[in-house]
Amino acid sequence: MKNEVAALENIEKKTTELSELIELFEVPEEQEKQQIEKQFSELQKEFEALEFKSLLGGEYDQNDVILAIRSGAGGVDAQDWAQMLERMYLKWAEKNGFKAVMVEETKGAEAGIKSATMEISGAYAYGYLQSEAGVHRLVRLSPFNSDNLRQTSFAIVEILPVIEEIAEVVISAQDLVIDTYRASGAGGQHVNTTDSAVRITHTPTNIVVTCQSERSQLQNKEQAMKVLKARIHQRYLEEQKAEKEKLRGEYKSAEWGSQIRSYVIHPYKMVKDHRTKFETSDAEKVLEGDLQGFMESFLRWQASNDK
């Protein structure tokens, strides 16, 4: 909060100084005019950056995030696409100073991943990443096809705010089935010799979460409970929203094909968000974690729709 207030006060100060400078030069010469225009341009950029932050005012925007990826239609290509998305979000977190911890990952039989869950923490993690929830579509020449044919693959991304206490939902211990098993994959000798991995099933909703990223069973259980709480809360919010939309006659069922964003690598290069219409031809840059344009356009689009 201090940083935001200081940034606002700094803009106020610079605005006053620029106003005084304009008054000083009644009829500015070319060099003075260029100086004023340069200062104004810099001030405008600072203002727009601060204005954008005002869009991060949602109830959970400041919270950390549970980000889950599941491969969809497209076989091995879809599993490879899911892993590309996993890498994209890890790159985004690294570039923007967020901490990413892998909670669970299920590898594909041939390549890629069937699913992955990670926790991304940092200031306004949910505020930024909420733009990513939904179906992501990839069009490219398949590296897994002997004829190198064009392939369309799908993966779904789930974005959940991390919430410590959920007022609307009570999770009873009697409703939980907790199983432990030996973790697989990387982690050294320890994971192969102890039942440290945890699977929790919430029987009323049939939601299942797993965690095998930590060395101890207790840590994995705590992490799995965090994901479970987020998923149950998300289901509650979706049910509330669906009920309101039914009452208003607006309800539409969520379908796999209703992608939020398309990534085209062949026959041309383009990434386009179907909600905001924001697009770029630099697909490689996006897959390296440059998502700022999509996140900003989504928040502005969401704010305009909420009015």
Average pLDDT (47-51) is 81
Rank 44-48, 60-64, 156-160, 280-284 by mean pLDDT and report only the highest: 280-284
| Sign, Cα dihedral of 177, 179, 185, 188 | positive
Sheet holding 270-273, edge to edge: 99-107, 113-121, 65-71, 150-161, 134-141, 261-264, 270-273, 279-280
Paired tokens of 194: 């102890």
In three-state secondary structure terms, 55 is coil
- In this prediction, residue 185 carries a pLDDT of 56
- In this prediction, residue 253 carries a pLDDT of 42
Mean pLDDT score of the chain: 85
Average pLDDT (43-52) is 84
**For the CA atoms of 72, 73, 74, 77, what is the dihedral angle to 10 degrees?**
-10
pLDDT single digits (tens) 110-121: 889 999 999 999
> Which phi and psi (to 5°) does residue 255 adopt?
-115, 150
- In this prediction, residue 239 carries a pLDDT of 81
- In this prediction, residue 83 carries a pLDDT of 97
CATH code that applies to domain 173-248: 3.30.160.20
Rank 8-12, 90-94, 114-118, 158-162 by mean pLDDT and report only the highest: 90-94
Average pLDDT (178-203) is 72
Average pLDDT (265-274) is 94
Paired tokens of 82: 């899911």
CB atoms closer than 10 angstroms to residue 262: 17
- In this prediction, residue 166 carries a pLDDT of 62
Asked whether residue 189 carries a pLDDT value surpassing 60, the answer given is no
Paired tokens of 287: 């897959």
- In this prediction, residue 165 carries a pLDDT of 66
pLDDT band at residue 84, thresholds of 50, 70 and 90? Answer: very high
- In this prediction, residue 167 carries a pLDDT of 63
Sheet holding 197-202, edge to edge: 176-181, 197-202, 207-211
| Domain residue spans of the chain | 2-53, 65-166+254-306, 173-248
Paired tokens of 134: 């939904």
Going from the C-alpha of 121 to that of each of 46, 52, 219, the distances in angstroms are: 25, 20, 17
More confident residue, 210 or 89: 89
Cβ within 8 Å of residue 240, ≥6 positions away? none
As a whole number of angstroms, the distance between CA 124 and CA 93 comes to: 12
- In this prediction, residue 170 carries a pLDDT of 76
More confident residue, 189 or 15: 15
Average pLDDT (259-272) is 94
Cβ within 8 Å of residue 99, ≥6 positions away? 93, 120, 121, 122
- Kindly report the pTM of this predicted structure: 0.74
Rank 37-46, 123-132, 140-149, 224-233 by mean pLDDT and report only the highest: 123-132
Strand partners, 269: none
- In this prediction, residue 32 carries a pLDDT of 82
- In this prediction, residue 47 carries a pLDDT of 87
Residues 65-166+254-306, CATH architecture: 2-Layer Sandwich (3.30)
Cβ within 8 Å of residue 151, ≥6 positions away? 74, 77, 139, 140, 141, 142, 145
Strand partners, 56: none
Asked whether residue 40 carries a pLDDT value surpassing 80, the answer given is yes
pLDDT band at residue 190, thresholds of 50, 70 and 90? Answer: very low
Paired tokens of 289: 């974690």
Average pLDDT (156-163) is 90
Alpha helices in 54-159 (DSSP H): 75-95, 125-129
